[in-house]
Structure 1
Amino acid sequence: MINYQTIMAVIDNDLDSQPAFSRALELAEKTDATLVALLVVYDFSYEMTTMLSGNEREAMRSAVLKSQRDWLEEEIRRYTERPVELIVKWESRAFEAIIRTAAECDADIVLKGSRKADDLASVIFTPTDWHLLRKCPTPVLMVKAHAWPPQGNIIAAVNVGTEDPEHAQLNDKITDIAKDYASLLTGNVHLVNAYPHAPVSIAVEIPEFDTEAYHHAVQKHHQQEMDRHSTRYELPAEQCHVREGLPEKVVAQMAHSLDAELVIIGTVGRVGLSAAFIGNTAERVIDALHCDVLAIKPDGFESPVT
């Protein structure tokens, strides 16, 4: 069961509303967690004040921080009267301030709002969002401005066909968290697994290669592994989906067809060339979704931000 002690919401003073704080407040009310609201500010003109003395520069920075804290206090009062720890930090690299503050507060989850694109069904992920999703060891919930109704659908994006122990451990972690959220929100868990197409080039390069047999073998393998995984978690077959295709397309299609409120996805923490491929796959999945996304790291992940 979810046992959040501290929930941290990132406040964005460029947004008309604060969907991340609204969602954090909803979670805090369900879990009785402490709420932290973090606002990261930076005025680039500060870099242009080298003609000022050190005291004058510090006075300018303090004035900006005080003004922003006053705004934050007023903004939070629009949402709740309950106690909220307010933190305002001056940092040019917002994602680093967010990751460090989450560690300092021992936050169990970080929530951040995503921005609407011109197409209202779409969202835009900023460079700060991507850095958080890649580097934050704390689970990150990217929030879109919509409700979480009872009996909503929650997707756990898994890779049950993997032979990689780290991926297998992450499958279990994602499924556990999905079931916890379903219990908390009285929702329904759906497992979604994508498996690859047979490479078209193989049939050209190896005429005797039986692509149909290959397709059926891969499909059977993934279905068998899904059956094993779902049985362990006592999930009915109609809530377990094995589909051929790229993960970003399969997960997005299933999220749309199920009208999912939340998709939970793992981002494997690695370095080097393998991280580029694994990270890009996760990011393409996230970029294709138009609902809330909870990004989970494997146990033992160490952030490059210290």
Structure 2
Amino acid sequence: MAKRQRVLVVLSQNELDSQPEPALDRGVFIARETNAMLELFVSEYHPSFYTPLIGKTLHNEWKPETYIRFALSRLQEISETLANREQLRVSSDAAWNRHQYDGIMQKVSSIKPDLMIKTIRHDSRLNRTLFNYTDWHLIRTCPCPLMLAKSEDTWATRAIVACVDPSHIHGREEGLDNSIIEIAQWLAYRLRGELHIFHAIEFMPEPIFRLWQPGASYDNYKQDSREEHETLLNELLRPYGIGSRRIHIAEGRPAESLLSFAKEVNASLVVMGAVSKGTLENLFIGNTAEKVLDALSCDILIVKPNPIEVRETVVEPVFG
């Protein structure tokens, strides 16, 4: 794969207020390891600026332009600190937009980053991730790989799980699994991590099978299905030279199986795919369910079919 040239980190007011966010930590980590350009970006909007209740004096003093100047000044401070401390190439920008995701998408369209990183909040007490409207919109529409940074830890294990489903018609037609593997393999190689390929097989429930094939062997059906999935998976992985001990096939519901496996290997990052078929409702996220995004406590990387091309020779011993 080629080097990642530009990483876009979307920050919030918290980061400007000197409250560190996982997204910035990941961006610095990846940029440092890959020699990529790091761009820091804030998209904000405060409706209180447009209400007369805040008073004429305050309204005159605090206009969007005032906030943008403040944000740019603070971003410049952060950029200079990172450039000096980490020896990184860092730039920054800020935008005022009624809808945060519009500002972010305009930035993505402008600079065409190879990777975007944004912090999302995971409540360990509730075992839930607190997605907002902007998060879901980006998951559905962001054209570049989108990393959702949850964990406060700095990828201590560097175990990267790539979720693939070669039996999924949409993903197969659009090369989604290949995109997932390539970016996961690239990250594992560049960050000296450990790559795991994960696939789950959900068999037809036995009562339904009995109605569909009266008198047929359910065990034979399961064996035939598993062999078919293994064949498809082997064909998918053949070009990548990934060692067999890094390939994992689970049997059961994909969402629950993935959550269990990610916990088993103490994953730092799970890479999965999203295919949008025309409307926001018709979104397929690999072979998983919405609950996976919600319940995973580690970082998540959402990949769309055929992202910006990245190719590089990867050495097998890193994964084998």
| TM-score bracket for this pair, using the shorter chain length | 0.7 to 0.9
1:56-205 matches, cutoff 5 A: 60-76=63-79, 79-81=82-84, 82-119=88-125, 123-143=129-149, 144-149=151-156, 152-164=158-170, 166-167=172-173, 169-203=175-209, 205=211
CA RMSD in angstroms, aligned pairs only: 3.1
Residue of structure 2 in register with 1:304 after alignment: none
* 1:31 equivalent in alignment to 2:34: yes
2:305, 2:291 → 1: CA distance?
19
Q: Runs of at least 4 residues of structure 1 off by over 6 A?
A: 50-53, 56-59
1:234, 1:216 → 2: CA distance?
26
Q: CA deviation at 1:147?
A: 1.6
Match of 2:43, SS state, is: strand
Residue of structure 1 in register with 2:14 after alignment: 14
| 8 Å CA contact 1:248, 1:285 repeated in 2 | yes
| 8 Å CA contact 2:174, 2:306 repeated in 1 | no
2:191, 2:217 → 1: CA distance?
46
Residue of structure 1 in register with 2:282 after alignment: 275
Match of 2:219, SS state, is: helix
2:65, 2:199 → 1: CA distance?
51
Query: Structure 2 regions of 5+ residues with no counterpart?
Result: 309-320
Letter in structure 2 aligned against 1:288: A
State the TM-score, normalized to the length of structure 2: 0.81
1:231, 1:160 → 2: CA distance?
13
CA gap 1:272/1:141 in 2 versus in 1, 3 angstroms:
closer
Match of 1:14, SS state, is: helix
Select the structure with the greater relative contact order (CA < 8 A; seq sep ≥ 6).
2
Query: Structure 1 regions of 5+ residues with no counterpart?
Result: 302-306
CA gap 1:83/1:165 in 2 versus in 1, 3 angstroms:
closer
CA gap 1:286/1:73 in 2 versus in 1, 3 angstroms:
same
Match of 1:183, SS state, is: helix
Q: CA deviation at 1:76?
A: 4.6
| 8 Å CA contact 2:199, 2:249 repeated in 1 | yes
State the TM-score, normalized to the length of structure 1: 0.84
Q: CA deviation at 1:216?
A: 2.0
Match of 2:297, SS state, is: coil
Deviations 1:29-72 (A, max 9, x none): 2222221111111111123249999xx77962222222333333
Find 1:240's aligned residue among 235, 247, 262.
247
| 8 Å CA contact 2:39, 2:92 repeated in 1 | yes
